[in-house]
Structure 1
């Protein structure tokens, strides 16, 4: 998932020029100036049942080339985190520190003059609890055991015989169908890479035993993706600096997409003008939307009303709801932060 270029490019360049510490799970990168801690800004009374404006924001992980695709695993009490440019998938446990779960997390042996993000990006779980990976460098959606062990299966890597660009994020429907986005952010030259086989940046649906179905090829930069709790709406963030927005699609009983509209335009984004663009998103069990947007992570009602923003001076790429729905984790540039959700709220 991508943001306004300078922050991301400088961090990726630092990671590419660095080396891993032996036995460690962090990347030795030229550290940028210290960021301020994210701060919560209440925009509407509806935020109060979800998140307290004075909730503590704590740092849980740093020294990451680019924090992406966080996923909480309840039974393990652990957070998984992608680092696409460093090609690492990390696991963090409270009190247990950070370890490398997969390296490479995406594709090994890619050409750095052509592939900018060889690693895993968005993460999800299937009905059997296995880990699903949007493999940016491998240009596929993969499946592996949740502990990273055993064989890795490529589920889908082509549309009508042509390879995807760099799958970015995944949403899993109750019937097992996968919805995923395929922007060109994995390429060094996103729009003109010689590796490109598709002329568009698509949103797709795939079910086991079938072919990928194209939902939309008109979005310039499809990015984060999520499903409403009743499975009637599909949300897709568009990280196009010229027209940043959050889209919503109406889904029929078979999971096909019908009408689409802009749910949140740039003018309605409370952090507009700040770092970042619409990026990863998560949908809570009550339909609340937690969306990476300019200026921080924006909390929205199901109808798109901004309730609050967790503002930050660096781009936030994504988030995860964890700890049995009691906490929110923010993937924020080179760091990950934890924010407790309101007592009694279960995300």
Structure 2
């Protein structure tokens, strides 16, 4: 559902007011928030349900796209409407890393979200970003912070506002392209494509559309064996996570519903299906109504890790011992058992 008078952020988080720019702050001591609900005993091998969810930093307009940078031991995450990628490290807190992260120069009123959104690190150590404001898939050299556009069009038409990315071992980049970054969404005069696509960008620069049928494709992730591609639908009418079977070429060969979040959405829990990650065992950590839905590889709900606010995305870090949560105006963390 596209509601021009209400931004996606209002739909996801129920946010009525946005903090003033420059109000982001790192907490001197981590403060607990939310909690963990256990639905299956398998969750105990992942996280102790009594483990606190800690707030690490606050004051963002909409935190998104966290990714752990192994070569350096720090986390990067986006404030999409704030147009900044922040860096967080233990003992240092959060500080701006890329400013602007997306669209440079004056932001026209036709752009709703000028910054980068989903982030990932490729095999070369580059930061790969879904640049919502510039409407491209880009690579950033973390040493020089120089940005290279990898793709900006499909069949000669500009993307809507790329949202999230997942990288295969081959170097192929899977990404989603809803119109959330455009002020008027589907009705934006800037829109050149008449659909919200799921795409694959090959290392040679070729862009292939994998699915053009969804209203709001959003988060995206690959299974560890790369035989399944997960897509989250941030659609109030269809709050689901889908699983696409991939063939030997990495192309879709079938699709099924992996997780239905209608019950949590109907109960009024904050958020919609958004970003997600998979672990080495194939479990899926999918954000949605109520927080991060921790699911077994076969789709069973093991537990929900929540902050009390909408969680937009998550990332593993600190040697796999932590799950970081980009949640509304905050960055949070929960310690994992493995």
**Is TM (by shorter chain) over 0.5?**
yes
> Aligned partners of 1:314, 1:99: CA distance in 2, in Å?
23
Instruction: List aligned pairs for 1:1-347, cutoff 5 A.
Output: 2=8, 5=11, 7=13, 10-11=16-17, 14-15=18-19, 18-20=20-22, 26=24, 37-109=33-105, 111-147=107-143, 149-267=144-262, 269=264, 272-342=267-337, 345=338
Give CA-to-partner distance per residue, 1:103-125, whole Å, 9 cap, x none.
10001235442111000100001
What is the alpha-carbon root mean square deviation over aligned residues? 2.0
Structure 1 residue runs of 5 or longer lacking an equivalent are 28-34
SS at match of 1:48: helix
* Number of equivalenced pairs: 327
Deviation of 1:97 (Å): 2.0
Deviation of 1:216 (Å): 0.4
**What TM-score, normalized by structure 2, do the two folds share?**
0.92
Aligned residue number for residue 30 of structure 1:
none
SS at match of 1:5: helix
**What TM-score, normalized by structure 1, do the two folds share?**
0.90
Aligned residue number for residue 28 of structure 2:
none
Aligned residue number for residue 32 of structure 1:
none
CA contact 1:8–1:66 (8 Å) conserved in 2: no
Task: Note closer, same or farther for the CA distance 1:243–1:94 as it changes in structure 2 (3 Å cut).
Answer: same
> Aligned partners of 2:33, 2:217: CA distance in 1, in Å?
28
Deviation of 1:334 (Å): 0.4
More strand by proportion, 1 or 2?
Answer: 2
Structure 2 residue runs of 5 or longer lacking an equivalent are 1-6, 26-30
Deviation of 1:318 (Å): 0.5
